Chain A
Amino acid sequence: MKDVLIDLRDLVVEYDGERVLNGLSLQIRDKEFVTFLGPSGCGKTTTLRIIGGFIEPVSGDVFFDGKRINSLPPYKRAVNTVFQRYALFPHLNVYENVAFGLKVKRLPEKEVHSRVEEMLEMVGLRGYERRGVAQLSGGQQQRVAIARALVNTPRVLLLDEPLGALDLKLRKEMQTELKRYQQQMEITFIYVTHDQEEALTMSDRVIVMRDGEIQQEGTPQDIYNEPINAFVADFIGESNIIDGVMLHDFLVEFAGVRFDCVDKGFGEMQLVDVVVRPEDIRVVSPGEGKLTGVVESVIFKGVHYEIMVDAHGYHWKIHSTLPQEVGSFIGMTVAPGDIQIMHRMEAGE
């Protein structure tokens, strides 16, 4: 690929003999918004810190713009970071925090001033220059941290769960803001989060990680619509995961019923995981659908109702705009295209 900016090859990281990264390879393109998504301990922050220069891999290589930078110290990298808890300098005010990187580079005072002011304008903190950072709200501190990193116009901005400490409304606002900064400044963003909604909203590409390995990478649409295994399906959005048997191409049996599907190539009589998104189950009159069950609970979620149904030995989660009577019998159907078949994950995984 021509515009590959960061090339990670076979990275292995160990802490106290425990593998945190297990041969991770990944390419990140210039001006891309990439998100590492996974539960805590999956290695996403470790990967970010390798790119930032704070961790050196035990083996494997890190290439930046074609050059190997494995042991290049952080202060020599064209990369800046927005840290998880902002890590603002408590002894400096807002202006001095943002100006730090430029002053370290010994830029002329005039240029420092205009760039800092421009950046504060962009993050909406004009007029806060002389404030101590401890006097700011969480959201404002967050903006200072972003401005402090972006003012250096790095090739890559690393963001380590930057919105984790903010409340929901502010988080949504900042998601839009971040995406705007990224497009405006044309900088590669590498974003780490465990929040799938955040990942889907902002990213050009999502890397789903688990136990130091990449599970799946692709656009948010790919990841959501075509999860590669039950872990990804479960982690991204909500899903019903059911044991099934692939009888032959285009025919799968689960919950004791045979369904037409669009998958092939699994072989005959193969044990598989079947994933059905809650919004893909249609409620019909009892007896009309392939499945029949009893409504266990109905919870109003705003746009939809979340309905739990006990049917054929499984608890099914359905998202529907219409409520159902608890205790009533309903029928359910799933369109062939909405049934996702994936290889059974090995035991213990």
Chain B
Amino acid sequence: MKLHTRLASVPYLLWVVVFTIIPLLLIIVFAFTGTDGGFTIENISAVGRYTDVIMKSIWLAAIATGVSLFLGYPLAYIISRHSARQQNVSLMLIMLPMWMSFLLRTFAWMTLLEKTGVINRLLGLAGLGPFELINTSGAVVLGMVYNYLPFMILPLHSVMVKIDASVIEAAQDLGASPLRVFFKVVLPLSMPGISSGITMVFVPAVSTFIISRMLGGGSNLMIGDLIDMQFLGNAYNPHLGSAISLVLMVIILLCMSIMNQFDDDVDVEGVLR
């Protein structure tokens, strides 16, 4: 039995070594070497020049995550209180856009938001506009929320389904008004869902480059765009690109450990079923 499990894990181990560990090591090596191949911390210190881009990326991703949470939380809760069949239908509708290409969906937003796009033309009929919709930070946040909202709703939903209706009734029974039931029971019990939802939205949002390029124009550069330029663009410098990637990774790791800290707090209070 033991041998079998060990054998079965071999393909996965190989996969991880070849496609995760070795590339990771390569990135670290690239980040700390110059074009001549010698050790240097120049690349890392050069990342400092892009502080405002990094801050803006974090800021936009944070806003998008916040909006997703704000929109997704009530929706996930409402869905979780319905019958199993209704839940399946609702979840399928939420995932439906994901069956289409990510690029196509973002292109669609371009045609909607353009100066001569659908929204501006409709507003024009009412004598309004045209408004500057595309190539703004708002458009980038919109694109992120649109694309990543399902990643917020799904983990929230899967945690909320496990909240027993009788626990909510018990809180009401003990004198808690609907608002207090929410803050004292529903919210703490859905904390694990919130933290994994935030991670699932924030991580891809902070590192995206397609959304910012297509909807943000030149003025809304994000970390992802920087990295892209270093590897595939005119600025070609894989050493700097690796250094930026490394910094991004550290940022994400920091964010996740903060979220996990939050999770641990919930666990100490009582074990979730």
List chain A positions with a Cβ less than 8 A from chain B.
52-54, 73-76, 79-81, 83-85, 87-93, 96, 100-101, 104-105, 132-135, 148-149, 152
Contacts and interface: CB of A to CB of B under 8 A. Distances in A.
B105 interface: no
B185 interface: yes
Interface string B238-272: 00000000000000000000000000001001111
B176 interface: yes
A149 B171 CA distance: 10
Contacts of B176: 75, 100, 104
Nearest to B169: A54
A100 B173 CA distance: 11
Given A81-B170, A91-B266, A101-B174, 14 more contacts: A75-B172, A75-B174, A75-B176, A84-B166, A85-B166, A87-B164, A87-B167, A90-B270, A90-B273, A92-B270, A93-B270, A104-B176, A132-B271, A149-B174
B172 A133 contact: no
B180 interface: yes
A90 B189 contact: yes
Contacts of B166: 83-85, 87
Contacts of B35: none
Residue with the greatest number of chain B CB neighbours at <10 A, chosen from A52, A100, A134? A100
Interface in B160-192: 164, 166-167, 169-177, 180, 184-185, 188-189
A261 B37 CA distance: 112
B171 A90 contact: no
A135 B272 CA distance: 11
24 contacts: A74-B173, A75-B175, A75-B177, A79-B173, A80-B173, A80-B174, A81-B169, A83-B170, A87-B170, A89-B185, A90-B271, A91-B188, A91-B189, A91-B266, A92-B269, A100-B176, A101-B175, A104-B175, A104-B176, A105-B175, A132-B269, A132-B270, A134-B270, A149-B173
Contacts, number: 84
A159 B168 CA distance: 17
Residue with the greatest number of chain B CB neighbours at <10 A, chosen from A74, A79, A135, A148? A74
Contacts of B188: 91
Given A132-B270, A135-B271, A74 B172 contact: yes
Contacts of B271: 90, 132, 134-135
A342 B121 CA distance: 83
A100 B171 contact: yes
A142 B238 CA distance: 63
Contacts of A53: 172-173
B190 to A, nearest CB: 10
B184 A100 contact: yes
Chain A binding surface, main DSSP class? mixed
Q: What are the 6 tightest A-B residue pairs by CB atom distance, in nearest-first order?
A: A101-B174, A87-B166, A87-B170, A132-B270, A74-B172, A134-B271
A87 B169 contact: yes
Contact of B175 (A85, A93, A135, A152): A152
Interface in B118-170: 164, 166-167, 169-170
Nearest to B181: A75
Given A73-B172, A83-B166, A104-B184, A90 B177 contact: no
A135 B269 CA distance: 12
Nearest to A84: B166
A91 B269 contact: yes
Contact of B174 (A54, A100, A134): A100
A96 B170 CA distance: 14
Contacts of A76: 175
Contacts of B272: 90-91
Given A133-B270, A134-B270, A135-B271, A89 B175 contact: no
A104 B180 contact: yes
Contact of A75 (B173, B189, B266): B173
Contacts of A90: 167, 189, 270-273
A295 B119 CA distance: 91
Nearest to A93: B270
Contacts of B185: 89, 91
Contacts of B167: 87-90
Contacts of A73: 172
Contacts of B164: 85, 87
B163 to A, nearest CB: 9
A75 B185 CA distance: 14
Contacts of A100: 171, 174, 176, 184
Contacts of B172: 53-54, 73-75
A87 B173 CA distance: 11
Contacts of B266: 91
Nearest to A158: B173
Residue with the greatest number of chain B CB neighbours at <10 A, chosen from A75, A80, A84, A93? A75
Interface string B16-33: 000000000000000000
Contacts of A80: 173-174
Nearest to A145: B170
Contacts of B169: 54, 74, 81, 83, 87
